[in-house]
A and B are shown apart, each in its own frame.
Chain A
Amino acid sequence: MRPTNTRNPDYFHKVVDCQWACPAHTPVPAYIRLIAQGRYSDAYMLNRDSNVFPGILGRVCDRPCEPACRRGRLEEEPVAICRLKRVAADHRGDITDSLPKKPAKTNGKRIALIGAGPASFTVANDLAPLGYECTIFEKLSEPGGLMRSNIPAFRLPEQVLSEELGYILDMGVELKLGHSVDSMDALLEEGWDAVFVGTGAPRGKDLNLPGRWDTKDEDNKDSENIHIGIDWLESVAFEHTKKIGKNVLIIGVGNTAMDCCRTSLRLGAKNVKVMARKPREFFKASVWELEDAEEENIEIIVNHSPKSFVIKDGKLTGMVFELLEYEIDAGGKIISQKVTGETTIPCDDVILAIGQDNAFPWIEETSGIKLDKWQVPEVDEATFESTRKGVFFGGDAAFGPKNIIWAVEHGHQAAISIHKHCQGKMLTGRLPNEVEMAPTKMGMFEWRYSNSYDDAARRKMTHVELTKRFADLDVEVELGFTAEQIATEVERCLNCDIQTVFEASLCEECDACIDICPVECLAMTPDAEDEDQLRASLSASENIEGQALYVSDALPLTGRVMIKDEDVCLHCGLCAERCPTAAWDMKESLIQIHYADEQDGGQKRGLGT
């Protein structure tokens, strides 16, 4: 086989599972090491480079990094990456001096950003310091988008949100609140150099079942007790809605449903049931959000499919559900379902949390922006440009509902496009990622990272007592990590970005590395035509996670090759400690991702932590 090319920037990047899984490619192990050293501000700033909102995301990120964590491949739980991000934010000092500054003068290019959510703010964050005049239009009276209107304050305190948005506004970004953009054509006529649409997916799905529109009121058939989840949460966030009935049913079991049920409890509901059509393994909500809801005694009822609303005397009194039974195959897929009965569950209010759609009633066909039949715009996946030159989309507005961290990444990419667009350059031809290898060896068996394996279990964050947390809507439930929890959790990180680097010409084939490896991921074997043949010589050769097999150059004494299964390697460095000839070394792979300021002759940021 051809020897592995570790100079390909994606090779080592992929080994850092968390960073690879993160849409914004946050260098997780690097910031965890900074936290371990007590350098919270540095950890915060390193986070901020890629994900812009460490304090917000440290609380409410969807955490694609955690299921990817290498630690999960042992019989263990992943590192509490998200919680550690919050630690960096909680304990940071005054970082205002390190933030990008408002430029002395602008470059005269005017950018309109529609919707004050994470995508627009990221674009502004990347462009304002370069001299762009960014104006954000927001129809509500406060900025933040879904982060303010849909995420309840008990999960994301208002002050955390405002502070991080404030950093960006301080870069000279203009924010027009209560300013809804009702016509794209009109906006385009104003002569902006570029327009960015970051308006999210604002239309919550309705459930048109019998009884939905059967209330007495002739003028308004809509029941005041049937709510659309995201609209209801917004109404609560802006204090238009202050109470709810005693018995509440939530339809749907995604993350919005979790926010709805927990918010209901804080508005006076006593008995909240989340109704799911399918069994638990099919739930869309994140595991931790389910756990947090269940901790508050929310009942989650499976295999109940909504059939109709029960309206008596014009008032909602309950809902009828069909009881379902599923046949699930060995692969965990539903192969058939049947109705086994029916039940009526009484309630005072129903909240529908069954998804949301894109909606652009304000974008005219004449604007030249093509939308498909589901109102999703035609957007280039690399440049985020729409079918009209100079109009860009990002966040949920671009490809439908995703999450905050995706919105941030969209924002970064759109900012590069806008920067290139405004200079009259091609939007493609962005700087490719690079990888730089930095030594970590400090002496005999001494590295500048904590390489010894720590078998501590994942720390569990302390929550406010159940008796105290419902008093106000904005009592933050999670208390943050204690000093002990921080100290333990940082050591659980395996430092996957400290790579095992092999120099075949130095190897004398003594097998020391193979014997010391605690997970048996190394072997020396005659070269073979294909990967499967090589893998056969590894004792743990199952390739489940899709990680690569490293193949070295031919070894000097026998012409065999050294192979390494990147899937199970724990980056403990024992191979390098044991190697008598230093053929193995541990080097930090710094993945350099270039943002708008570095493109087209901009100065490249230095890396190194």
Chain B
Amino acid sequence: MLIDINTWIGAWPFRHLEEATVSGLLKRMDRKGIDRAIVAHTGAALYRDPHPANVDLARQIGKHTDRLLPVATLLPQNPGWQEDLRRCHQDLGFVGLRLYPQYHEYRLTDEPALDLIDAAHDCGFVIQVPQRVEDRRTRHPWDVARDLSGGEIIEALRARPKVKWMLLNALGLAAEDLPKEANFLVDISRMTAVLQRNMQRLLDVAGNDKLAFGTGMVFKVADPALLKLEVLDRGKRVREAIAWRNAAKMLGLKVR
């Protein structure tokens, strides 16, 4: 069983993404043996009003809710996010939010952002935060979004330790600095099981319940994340926890 907590569909204005559709994502998952995935719409990261992208994502997923778990993007500074959140929760089948403070010019600990996070948490949502979308060395000159700093992420975890955080595309978070009381998962897409061994560092310091499988598809290829699981020098229980159990637990999924 594999649950990928870090996937996208949709066009990205700065780089061509091949078959960045629900069917394209499902094909990739089939090829790599990935059972389920949390998915967001790239348009939601850049639209002034992201909600139409949320609606489009739900429409594209259609009957594939057995495999794809959609996350929405809302802007804390936009009017009416409360109603959009209600629709995402009650009408559209979303399981969480993916927030991009670096593209929408706020900080996670700003009061309006915390209001949105609290309201989403009350809906039972997970809160996903990508530290970055693309590597800054490859960015289009108009893509000036910053990488979120470890300090900003940790500050948010401290401010809302009960929120179900999923930190995506993250690297450089010092395991010792992550608040022990916080409820978080870090996806493995930028971490390593060999050489630097920062997966092992996080397991040893923060616990076996803090890592989750994530690929970064359709921006990135899935094979590196699969290799990390394969070569990780930990027992079956730990590898299973990373592969799916930790994500399933946070999402409240019943998995056989």
A binds B: no
Interface residues of B, Cβ cutoff 8 Å to A: none
Interface residues of A, Cβ cutoff 8 Å to B: none
